[in-house]
Amino acid sequence: MAETISRDDVAHVASLAKLAFDEAKLDQFTDQLTDILTLFETLSEVDTSAVEPTYSVTPNVNHLREDVADNWHQKQELLANSPEEAADLIKVPAIIKGEDD
Amino acid sequence: MTFNYFDHDLSDLHQKLLNHELTAQELTQATLDNIAASDGDVQAFLGTNGPEALQQAQELDEKGDFSNPLAGIPMGLKDNLSTKGLETSGASKILAGFKPVYDATVVQKLQAAGAISVGKLNMDEFAMGGSTENSAYQKTTNAWDHTKVPGGSSGGSATAVAAGQIPYALGSDTGGSIRQPAAFNGIVGLKPTYGRVSRFGLFAMASSLDQIGPLTRTVKDNALVLNAIAGFDKMDSTSVESEVPDFTARLGQGIKGMRIAVPKEYFEEGIDPKVAQQVKSAIEQLRELGATVDEVSLPHTRYGVAAYYIIMSSEASSNLQRYDGIRYGFRSPDAKSLEDVYVKTRSEGFGDEVKRRIMLGTFSLSAGAYDAFFKKAAQVRTLIVEDFNKVFNDYDLIVGPTAPTTAYGLGEEINDPKAMYLADALTIPVNLAGLPGLSINAGFVDGLPVGLQLIGKPFDEATIYQAAQAFEDATRWFEKRPAVAEKY
Amino acid sequence: MANGNFETTIGLEVHVEMQTNSKLLSPSPVHYGDSPNANTNVIDWAYPGVLPVANKGALEYGMRVALALNAKISPFIRWDRKNYFYPDNPKSYQTTQSQTPLGTNGYLDVKLENGETKRVRIHELHVEEDAGKNTHGNDGNSYVDLNRQGTPLVEIVSEPDLHSPDEAYAYLEQLRQVILFTGVSEAKMQEGQMRADVNISIRPYGAKEYGTRVEMKNVNSFNYVRNALIYEEKRQAAALRAGEKLVQETRRYDEPTKSTISMRVKEVADDYRYFPEPDLSPIEISQDWIDEVAANLPKSAAQRRQYYVDDLEIEPYDAEVLTQTLAMADFYDQTVQAGADPKRAANYLIGDVNAYLNKTQLELQETKLTPANLAGMVKLIEDGTISTKQAKKVFEAIMDGEEPEAFAKKNGLVQISDTAILLPWVTEVLDANPQSIEDFKGGKDRAVGFLIGQLMKKSKGQANPGVLNQLLMQELKQR
């Protein structure tokens, strides 16, 4: 495995996670994450070539909901909790064109 | 009126309410008084809701129906359980002042049972931590020694019960967050089987690991609370439809002939020798009570922590992306652009441990790292599940220490995340395998409680309770009181 | 070749909103046009602690599309999370099916303009949730409406089998019709119910590697897709001829100039950090379940056309028109089932009913016309109860929801075919017009026309002309 994490990697991961760190914090996180990754590396000792991954231990299969609509009428409470709203819409600083979805 | 929970268990309180020796209002008021008397020392509550609780108690008294075993009895909720109209922050700044608009399923169930919530309990921010020091708001202390941590992340829940503020509390357990603080505070804490209790309304940390459970002073109390909160919920696709037994049914039946396995790996690296000794004598006690006890091996135990931290942080990094400053909670006042709303809100709103785990998880899932980290961890998880399955072919229970140490000093480990993560080594495999696990007080080392962990087969909480009850009857460690009990 | 020495390769990812009652992961209603955020709840807003529960109907709708596109339905599906931050994406992850898509290895036979049929392979199709809707104010803010958030989508990903803008256009048209006839969506482009992400690259003929790809997202008209592709083909070829290097980028189609504009150059690939969704249970799809869905799948347009032409003896062109929408085809089927003559019913739907829809700008299902009433009117014409002329008034009435027979009776539109009533009138008219009888016998056929005119007047236009004619001739011969 021997994956390591550089300061640039940490900065890249931070941008994916929408977090920003000052220089000192970035260094500190790089050190701590590197330390934790050495712990993670113990996994490379395990032969998993023939092992199926377990993503969940739920025994449930096909837990589905019938297609019946039910409006809980929470609109007003939800809008009241939003940091900024206008005309029943959630207000955010402009989405700049090019920040595409 | 004063009221001391050390003198009464839930059944006792229930009888008194039924017989009108006590009213719900008296009990609720006494509880609020107790909290006022001791919370300066233990700092367990993030907020209390006295007026609402008293109002609810009054309504119950007027109705006079105390047929439900929990009716009219106060309790507390970990602050990551959604309570409609009551501030719930998950001990994070990013949800400062946030008032949910719906109740968690467990909250609805307890309300329907007539339980009275008196407040929200401190925790590590978003349940990330093992000492409750990661709360953005306050530091809860251990009920037995206020210079020690209460454990975590359900530290507020554990201390509040251990300090006699309330008879029971709900916590959540993703890698040990009910059992470890229960051990540090000398009480009973159960993490139910994954799917036994609905997670709807639990602020998610790691969806495939999280489970809500009760923290109580005694085993029977614990079973009574689980009776009230267990069961299928159509709002949670991972909650299981299988029938919920009466968890008190097999209490008192003893453990003669019960087959108990003790994994040798649970006594290996990092365990405090005194803790190990205390747990071994507890296991000896189980043998004396008639169980057969054998040493077994769970060979992949040592990989549990690494697999857990990858899976947990990956799921958490995704689950916590909803805290973006757009629809609810905190939005950085300095945010000018949309990118600011995201980055400033999250950078200012989350604490260091939360950020560290978001970073770890985001990294583990990122292109190029996924196979070596996330997928690898999920494969190791399979091996850990198989280890348990093999042992449970021949045994009814697995028993060992809950935590490798007793409660440590406030501030001692907070700056060493890796050491903190390794401290969860004995509880984590249980979450990875989705098994039920309970911690019960197994005595004291240097004045601090030691936890004995009992791990059962999936959906076999009843056997755990049966054994724990036998142990409790034989040892009665729960009768020992911390100094804070003198306050009431 | 259309583009000199270059071969064009086009891939399309088409998103179609499925018209279920409720959203994919929450019970909020799926309904277009309501006030902002009216159809949202704590789950849609990704409140702390909420959990999704997947909609069986949405999954079955997805299965319908898979079947209609001849895809293999996966026996085991796990949902996945696609992580990215955006204001219309409340959880900051989209629930989708990445590793285990619902359907794989399908195909669509597309009729091209030159009459050839081309088989376009479908790489995969999956069910996922739609995002909310952002509107951009001119006040430096954007505004988010989450009504659409969570609407189930089926995404259909083609193999790069399309080699010209016209082929892409034909594929989209054909795909839309196939989806329409599964009944899962009306696929209205103008309401954003069907949207296409378009990839295009060009390479010299014979080259092994594909050229650098340009992507255009959410193009919401087939014409725009075609125009954008025409522009891109030319732009990319010109650039390559000029020795420029193309960059992988996202571009946007600009209708006024019929050109594309660069939006964002992709320096690093997006990192969506897909992983299996732990909050939803996995899904196992048995053959029984597939059979059950297949049994409820409406017949395709092609199947219906064949039936109309072979069994109902409808002209092929008319069959095309009748299968332009599922609503029309269903209506036609029900009208025929209700006993209407297939040809006459087809003529009414293609002619008068379509004209009515055009004039009123209504959809067929928005009118008061029912198959039973249309069939009723056709039967009245067939059995001579009303004349085609009288039918005009009856048609207006059935478009207003009236029952045709009752309306015709009430308004005296019923033809008189009863000889017991008609015979006395014939006798009367003949008695009053001896000259006409003489003329008839003298071989002047004009006399018959005059007599019929007199008789129609007497019957106030209600006499059945056929019966009347026959009766008159019979009486004339006896005089």
Shortest CA distance from C268: residue in chain B: B367
Instruction: Report the alpha-carbon distance of residue C158 to residue C8 in Å, rounded.
Output: 15
Shortest CA gap A79–chain B (Å): 8
Residue A53 falls within a domain, yes or no?
Answer: no
Average pLDDT over residues C427-435: 89
Query: Does C173 share its domain with C197?
Result: yes
Shortest CA distance from B236: residue in chain C: C51
Render the burial of B216-231: b for 16+ CB within 10 Å, e for the rest. Answer: bbbbbbbbbbbbbbbb
Indicate the pairing of strand A85-86 with strand A89-93.
antiparallel
- A62: contact with B, CB 8 A cutoff: no
Instruction: Report the alpha-carbon distance of residue C265 to residue C253 in Å, rounded.
Output: 15
More confident residue, A67 or C479: A67
Query: Does C385 share its domain with C423?
Result: no
Shortest CA distance from B126: residue in chain C: C48
Average pLDDT over residues A38-50: 94
Tell me which chain A residues have a C-beta less than 8 angstroms from the C-beta of B337.
93-94, 96
Render the burial of B279-303: b for 16+ CB within 10 Å, e for the rest. Answer: beebbebbeebebebeebebbbbbb
Residue A18 falls within a domain, yes or no?
Answer: yes
Give the percent of chain C with pLDDT over 90.
75
User: What does the H/E/C string look like for A81-99?
Assistant: HCCCEECCEEEEECCCCCC
Shortest CA distance from C270: residue in chain B: B367
CB contact under 8 A, A60 and C135: no
Tell me which chain A residues have a C-beta less than 8 angstroms from the C-beta of C78.
55
Strands (DSSP E) found in B10-144: 45-48, 74-78, 116-121
Residue C291 falls within a domain, yes or no?
Answer: no
Burial class (CB in 10 A: 0-12, 13-18, 19+), C408: buried
CB contact under 8 A, C52 and B327: no
CB contact under 8 A, B434 and A57: yes
Find the chain C residues whose C-beta atoms sit closer than 8 A to any C-beta of B: 42, 45-54, 81, 83, 85, 87, 90-93, 142, 144, 269, 271, 273-275, 278-281
CB contact under 8 A, B328 and C45: yes
pLDDT at A3: 59
Average pLDDT over residues B234-261: 96
pLDDT at B2: 72
CB contact under 8 A, C143 and A18: no
pLDDT band at A2; cut points 50, 70, 90: very low
Residue A21 falls within a domain, yes or no?
Answer: yes
Query: Does C126 share its domain with C269?
Result: yes
Single-letter amino acid, residue A80: A
Handedness of CA C17, C22, C24, C26 (dihedral sign): positive
The CA–CA distances, whole Å, from C340 to B107, C331, C367 equal 61, 12, 19
pLDDT band at A97; cut points 50, 70, 90: low
Tell me which chain B residues have a C-beta less than 8 angstroms from the C-beta of A13.
359, 362-363, 366
Average pLDDT over residues B449-456: 98
CB contact under 8 A, A72 and C27: yes
Q: Which of C359, C387, C410 is the last residue of a domain?
A: C410
CB contact under 8 A, A32 and B346: no
Instruction: Report the alpha-carbon distance of residue A23 to residue B66 in Å, rounded.
Output: 60
Query: Hey, is B264 helix, strand or coil?
Result: helix
Instruction: Categorise residue C206: left if φ over 0, alpha if ψ from -120 to 50, beta otherwise.
Output: left
Residue A33 falls within a domain, yes or no?
Answer: yes
pLDDT band at C1; cut points 50, 70, 90: very low
Residue C398 falls within a domain, yes or no?
Answer: yes
Contact B212, B81 (CB under 8 A): yes
Query: Does C232 share its domain with C341?
Result: no
Tell me which chain B residues have a C-beta less than 8 angstroms from the C-beta of A48.
376, 379-380, 382-383
Which CATH number belongs to the domain containing residue C435 in this structure?
1.10.10.410
pLDDT at C263: 87
Query: Hey, is B4 helix, strand or coil?
Result: coil
Does position B421 have pLDDT exceeding 90, yes or no? no
pLDDT at C417: 80
Tell me which chain A residues have a C-beta less than 8 angstroms from the C-beta of B313.
none
pLDDT band at A1; cut points 50, 70, 90: very low
In this structure, of B85-94, C164-173, C334-343, C386-395, the range with the lowest mean pLDDT score is C386-395
Does position B416 have pLDDT exceeding 90, yes or no? no
Query: Does C85 share its domain with C187?
Result: yes
Does pTM surpass 0.80?
Answer: yes
Residue C106 falls within a domain, yes or no?
Answer: yes
Going by C-alpha positions, the residue among C166, C163, C161, C25 that lies closest to residue C93 is: C25
Give the percent of chain B with pLDDT over 70.
100
Whose tokens are 């049914």? That residue is B249
Shortest CA gap B347–chain A (Å): 5
pLDDT at B133: 97
Contact C22, C30 (CB under 8 A): yes
Residue C146 falls within a domain, yes or no?
Answer: yes
Residue C365 falls within a domain, yes or no?
Answer: yes
Q: Which of C226, C252, C284 is the last residue of a domain?
A: C284
Instruction: Report the alpha-carbon distance of residue B322 to residue C93 in Å, rounded.
Output: 8
Q: Least CB-CB distance to A89: which of C20, C39, C145?
A: C145
Query: Does C374 share its domain with C471?
Result: no
CB contact under 8 A, B82 and C49: yes
Burial class (CB in 10 A: 0-12, 13-18, 19+), C200: buried
Residue A67 falls within a domain, yes or no?
Answer: no
Query: Does C206 share its domain with C270?
Result: yes
Does position C457 have pLDDT exceeding 90, yes or no? no
Average pLDDT over residues B14-35: 97
Q: Which residues contact C134 (CB under 8 A, 6 or more apart)?
A: A95, C87, C88, C142, C143, C144, C145
Q: Which of C357, C381, C410 is the last residue of a domain?
A: C410
More confident residue, C73 or C428: C73
Tell me which chain B residues have a C-beta less than 8 angstroms from the C-beta of A65.
234
- Tokens of residue B51, six digits: 């007026």
Q: Least CB-CB distance to B362: which of C91, C269, C273?
A: C273
Is residue B153 reached through a cis peptide bond, with omega within 30 degrees of 0 on the bond before it? yes
pLDDT at A101: 43
CB contact under 8 A, A55 and C276: yes
Does position C49 have pLDDT exceeding 90, yes or no? yes
Helix, strand, coil share of chain C (percent; to 5) = 40, 20, 40
CB contact under 8 A, C83 and B200: no
- How many structural domains is chain C composed of? 3
Element (H, E) at C199: strand C194-204
More confident residue, C85 or C426: C85
Average pLDDT over residues B227-251: 96
Instruction: Report the alpha-carbon distance of residue C152 to residue C18 in Å, rounded.
Output: 6
| String of DSSP letters for B144-195 | S-TTB---SSSHHHHHHHHTTS-SEEEEEESSSTTHHHHHHHTSEEEEPPTT
Does position C415 have pLDDT exceeding 90, yes or no? no
Query: Chain A, 76-95: which have a CB under 8 Å from a chain C CB?
Result: 78-79, 86-95
In this structure, of A45-49, C85-89, C213-217, C433-437, the range with the lowest mean pLDDT score is C433-437
Query: Does C215 share its domain with C356?
Result: no
> pLDDT by residue (tens digit) across B135-165?
999 999 999 999 999 999 999 999 999 999 9
Give the percent of chain C with pLDDT over 70.
99
CB contact under 8 A, C55 and A67: yes
pLDDT at B82: 98
Query: Hey, is C155 helix, strand or coil?
Result: strand
Q: Least CB-CB distance to B342: which of C81, C85, C91?
A: C85
Average pLDDT over residues B339-352: 97
CB contact under 8 A, C49 and B370: no
How many whole angstroms from its chain centre is CA B390? 27
Does position B129 have pLDDT exceeding 60, yes or no? yes
> pLDDT by residue (tens digit) across C191-225?
899 999 999 999 999 899 999 999 999 898 999 99
> pLDDT by residue (tens digit) across C237-285?
999 999 999 999 999 999 999 999 998 777 677 899 999 999 999 999 9
Q: Least CB-CB distance to C279: which of B98, B100, B238?
A: B238
Query: Does C474 share its domain with C363?
Result: no
Average pLDDT over residues B343-352: 98
Chain A interface mutation, best of C142, C288, C292, highest count of A Cβ atoms under 10 Å: C142
- Tokens of residue B348, six digits: 């200012």
Query: Does C171 share its domain with C275?
Result: yes
Instruction: Report the alpha-carbon distance of residue B96 to residue C67 in Å, rounded.
Output: 50
> pLDDT by residue (tens digit) across B64-113?
999 999 999 999 999 999 999 999 999 999 999 999 999 999 999 999 99
Q: Output the average pLDDT for chain C.
A: 93
Structural domain of C370: 299-410
How many whole angstroms from its chain centre is CA B42? 17
- Tokens of residue C83, six digits: 């992580």
Shortest CA gap A32–chain B (Å): 8
Average pLDDT over residues B307-311: 97
Structural domain of A30: 7-44
Residue C293 falls within a domain, yes or no?
Answer: no
Measured from the Cβ of residue C70, the count of other Cβ atoms closer than 10 Å reads 16
Start-to-end CA span in chain B (Å)? 10
Residue A51 falls within a domain, yes or no?
Answer: no
Contact C140, A93 (CB under 8 A): yes
Chain A interface mutation, best of C273, C281, C289, highest count of A Cβ atoms under 10 Å: C281
Residue C1 falls within a domain, yes or no?
Answer: no
Q: Output the average pLDDT for chain B.
A: 97
In this structure, of A52-56, C21-25, C263-267, the range with the lowest mean pLDDT score is C263-267
- How many structural domains is chain A composed of? 1
Does position B408 have pLDDT exceeding 60, yes or no? yes
Chains that touch B (3 or more CB pairs under 8 A): A, C
Average pLDDT over residues A3-8: 82
Residue C41 falls within a domain, yes or no?
Answer: yes
